[in-house]
Structure 1
């Protein structure tokens, strides 16, 4: 345990060099194998305690090391880490199969499982037993030996392919640069964006202004740059990541991943990968998911078409644009929004200084759940830009350690995510508290301005903070049922519900203060934020649905006959298509959520959880957004329970009924009043 003998038992980042992870993880795999063997070969009759519970606590150090390593591979990678990842991933995949295909161990678990009705287990113990049993039975424990070996080969190959996929996307993201040397080409861009581009160019010893595919550089350029040709250049670069026919091209990898996942599902007796995945989700079947996506599509399509027509007419009237292209969407949407609402991000950004927004999220959590966040500087971090907090409750009791990492840099992938360095659990009567981190990519401060967020970035921060609260407020016995260890289509509820506070006056007044004058955001801006919340909502909804449909088109069918990634993708997008096709681009080759992250057959869950969050937040609106009674119920039945009960049961305990899908349509303005 010496490695984790640190203050609060936090991750010892400075003690471990990049090249040390492989040998350390190998050692911990061997140690965990010994623990597993002791459980599997025990002479005592199998019981819940000596088999299921013992297995739950095996491999503690290994879990902690791997969570450190894989977050580093996303947030602070380098050649050494990437090279180690290529060895570590297949090792872990092989090791997890060693456990799941261990016949002696499975027999002991099966014995306990088959006698569960006589064991007087608590609901949480029953859930743990079910989860452990299914972990084996759903992953090949009942297969004959030759098929077990095939499964091992598939899993090893898949772990390597998804890593390679991510490395290719990162390499393509970071290799593209748009260097502008003519000041005229900066027309329309906000002053802060121009300054950031100048700083970036100087940092790379270049003359001019440098733009990249990192979100804080890419998004403002696409939204404000008047030079249409340069918008096109940037858009095509963004849309063609890992799609250049070179050694970083992901087309073959996409086909291989889809086909291997299908073969794996078939081997285990499932029709497709989606059938396998969805069995352990709220949605249960691909039919349910496809019906859900298509019903929403039917509701949103008329509004989306109407919005697209309005946008097309506006672009034609404004600049004589005959055919609206993908690189025109954000630019003319922003112009139209400014005209309709007299509101743009540049007006709002001065009120959203990063530090204020972070403190605002903390204040919302304090008002709802009594949490207090104290910045501390005496625990290890993996980069100087990471900030750490000690989190306590209203009584001053220790709740969690919380890490934040907010700016893009080389070696850090795009996007935003939450991760856990240590799960919460209760062992021998002691409640061991979690260590949670959120990672984002927001505009850096410049010489003249602090980091000022767009409103979209504000909601992103609140979203990830919602995931963090789910992790921090966990209060369960077992680590594998703790925090965000819930059904995948339930995991986005705590994150998405948090975004709602960003639209409420009483919450905004806590933190939306001008960075120079400290003036609270004017009421008219708050009203306009709410008014414009449903602006282009039809098109936004269609966009999200198109990603869900693309995911299901790869995973809910037999993909063995798919030979061309782009042709397949175009067919999947047909029902949601607005803009003309761009043959130079392909989304699948950089769709990291489903080919590298854990969202395969699960992208629909963002929309699924939106139904839950819209319905849940209506209760807050009804009783008051800081109503203690509602907040306590949400904490008791959602945030603290993790995966200890069926999510729909938990939701009904909080809300009193199943979610009403109309709540989402009402909020999105897609329901005819």
Structure 2
């Protein structure tokens, strides 16, 4: 295709992808050429007649595959953020091809022999710290991909990888199908209890689906959770909750449960081929936790106090429900509704009073201002840059001296063509191996669009969380692309995002940016104090629903499912841990995309809690300094954001904090001590 944009040098500012010219049919030939070019580069490295050295092997690998990387970065960002049937078809076709391509590289014996030789004599090579870590990580990646296996085992490892790529893709597409396929249509008689902001969002969701004159609740978290919180119609809450919890698991062509059985079986076989008892043991061996028992140990530390606190919360909710004449036990579709009533009664606070002060645009400004005060960054909107959807806003990011450091894209609104949840990704990663390459980072949120768009405090926290990930990519200052930004161990990658959440709760942030959407007046001091006083409210519920999901993850990847189906496996685990019946697991297996739409968080969902130990302890340093923007602490924190994977993560943390982390600040933060 002569006019394929991927075969051209992009002349857009910052070499942004020319989205307006990129069409689905451009991807197959671009993937094909990208893989062919990459394999030719690999063969040149593997077949080099010179003795291996760091430059002709490791650095050469860092320079390989650049066309393929550019194509893949654009493609997989679009299939997550703004997919189409045509893009979905390309993904189903190319996911196994890309996995096969990667395994051809990982299992290339001549390439691995060169890396192994370098690794063997690494102490004598005179490498810098980032080079030593890159060599060691490259060697470990090849080992963990099966490069050290014998012939038949290598062939089987490649086949497993190819099959898993297909299963992961199908799993994610099935969840999106259910989320697009279902909605709850409401009439005026069904709106009892719903605040104005939620009604406006539901009206707009209806219009987007061509249902003018009505209201619609979707399975986006930003739509269904507020509905469960405020709707006085218990029958409709139940319908919405059950549809939400069953997505991905409805019988039929899009049922993910058979896929889960195959995925966990293949992963277990992968682990056995590599000499591990379980997939969990395999994954955790290359983590900060290192062992399954260490991950379980952390989860167990919070599980019992979380259940105890949740039981206290349930008693309050039951009392409220009885006062309203409901004599049935609290169900999962009741918890949020009565929790909001208890919060209002106990703290004289309800979300409808708070939400008018949390305007989306102001919360974006608050995140930008925090980054400026901590790290000296400035964000200037660039309306001239090409974007893939009208909702996307692009910003040029500069440092304190005015030097550009990258581009930041923010895509905040939920829509049918976008997967659920919130995430950070990149179109290009920072590096300076062959001259400065600036990052292009994107944040995706799923806020219900309205006029004006108002956030809950949880929504605002999610926005800050994802922006923390974005800063990890934007502030990266490394030499080698594979060490850039968020390319760190899974149970460390959440630290930069979670610690950044703390600055949303800073009173000076809220006084400046929590402004009423109509009057522009700052949030009243009394309301601010009541809001901050509720930070540990309902944390028993939040901790239980999260920890149960993390324990379920470890269970799937620690022991074979034997003859039980997915639902029975889930039910058995929840019974064994004593899961409260009135609290649902945060992610049920059939829509648990962290685990089954890819392998990134498989046997690693515990990482959010592991990182929360770090973030609670880390922010405590600022509290102890009595200044949330204390310059020396901010500078040391910036070092973590900038380091990428050039250092051991615990060494980075200790350099920042002066000691290893303590768990007590986490328990205090969640009100579990």
What range is the shorter-chain TM-score in?
over 0.9
TM-score normalised per structure 1: 0.96
CA distance in 2, matches of 1:196, 1:586: 24
Shift of 1:586: 8.7
> Conserved in 1, the CA contact under 8 Å of 2:310 and 2:538?
yes
SS at match of 1:431: coil
| Counterpart position of 2:652 | 650
| Counterpart position of 2:114 | 108
Shift of 1:85: 0.2
Shift of 1:245: 1.4
Residue by residue over 1:298-327, the C-alpha shift from the partner in whole angstroms, topping out at 9 and shown as x without a partner, is 232222222222222222223323211010
| Counterpart position of 1:288 | 294
Shift of 1:433: 1.6
> Unpaired runs of 5+ in structure 1?
none
TM-score normalised per structure 2: 0.96
> Conserved in 1, the CA contact under 8 Å of 2:20 and 2:388?
yes
Shift of 1:438: 0.1
- The number of aligned residues is 663
| Counterpart position of 2:339 | 333
> RMSD over aligned Cα, in angstroms?
1.6
Shift of 1:592: 0.9
> Conserved in 1, the CA contact under 8 Å of 2:204 and 2:450?
no
Alignment of 1:611-626 (within 5 A): 611-623=613-625, 624-626=627-629
Choose the corresponding residue for 2:62, options 52, 56, 59. 56
Residue by residue over 1:467-499, the C-alpha shift from the partner in whole angstroms, topping out at 9 and shown as x without a partner, is 000000001111111100001000000111111
Shift of 1:562: 4.2
CA distance in 1, matches of 2:360, 2:543: 28
Shift of 1:3: 4.0
Q: Is the counterpart of residue 87 in structure 1 residue 93 in structure 2?
A: yes
CA distance in 2, matches of 1:204, 1:2: 38
CA distance in 1, matches of 2:405, 2:325: 55
CA distance in 2, matches of 1:581, 1:365: 36
> Conserved in 2, the CA contact under 8 Å of 1:501 and 1:508?
no
Residue by residue over 1:633-654, the C-alpha shift from the partner in whole angstroms, topping out at 9 and shown as x without a partner, is 1002x10001111111110000
CA distance in 2, matches of 1:407, 1:525: 28
Alignment of 1:107-146 (within 5 A): 107-146=113-152
| Counterpart position of 2:3 | none
> Conserved in 1, the CA contact under 8 Å of 2:184 and 2:216?
yes
| Counterpart position of 2:192 | 187
CA distance in 1, matches of 2:540, 2:522: 31
Q: Is the counterpart of residue 555 in structure 1 residue 552 in structure 2?
A: no
> Conserved in 2, the CA contact under 8 Å of 1:549 and 1:573?
no
Alignment of 1:37-436 (within 5 A): 37-181=43-187, 183-206=188-211, 207-428=213-434, 430-436=435-441
| Counterpart position of 1:490 | 492
Residue by residue over 1:179-218, the C-alpha shift from the partner in whole angstroms, topping out at 9 and shown as x without a partner, is 123x232100011212222333344343532222122321
| Counterpart position of 1:463 | 465
> Conserved in 1, the CA contact under 8 Å of 2:320 and 2:341?
no
CA distance in 2, matches of 1:619, 1:18: 49
Shift of 1:594: 0.7
Residue by residue over 1:231-259, the C-alpha shift from the partner in whole angstroms, topping out at 9 and shown as x without a partner, is 00111111111222111111100101111
Residue by residue over 1:437-465, the C-alpha shift from the partner in whole angstroms, topping out at 9 and shown as x without a partner, is 0001112123xxx1111111100000000
Change (3 A) 1:582 1:399: closer
| Counterpart position of 2:10 | 4
> Conserved in 2, the CA contact under 8 Å of 1:102 and 1:141?
yes
SS at match of 2:145: coil
Change (3 A) 1:380 1:71: same
> Conserved in 2, the CA contact under 8 Å of 1:372 and 1:392?
yes
> Conserved in 1, the CA contact under 8 Å of 2:248 and 2:590?
yes
CA distance in 1, matches of 2:388, 2:201: 24
Q: Is the counterpart of residue 661 in structure 1 residue 666 in structure 2?
A: no
CA distance in 1, matches of 2:469, 2:205: 31
CA distance in 2, matches of 1:220, 1:581: 16
CA distance in 2, matches of 1:204, 1:287: 48
SS at match of 1:419: strand
| Counterpart position of 2:565 | 564
CA distance in 1, matches of 2:204, 2:381: 29
SS at match of 1:384: coil
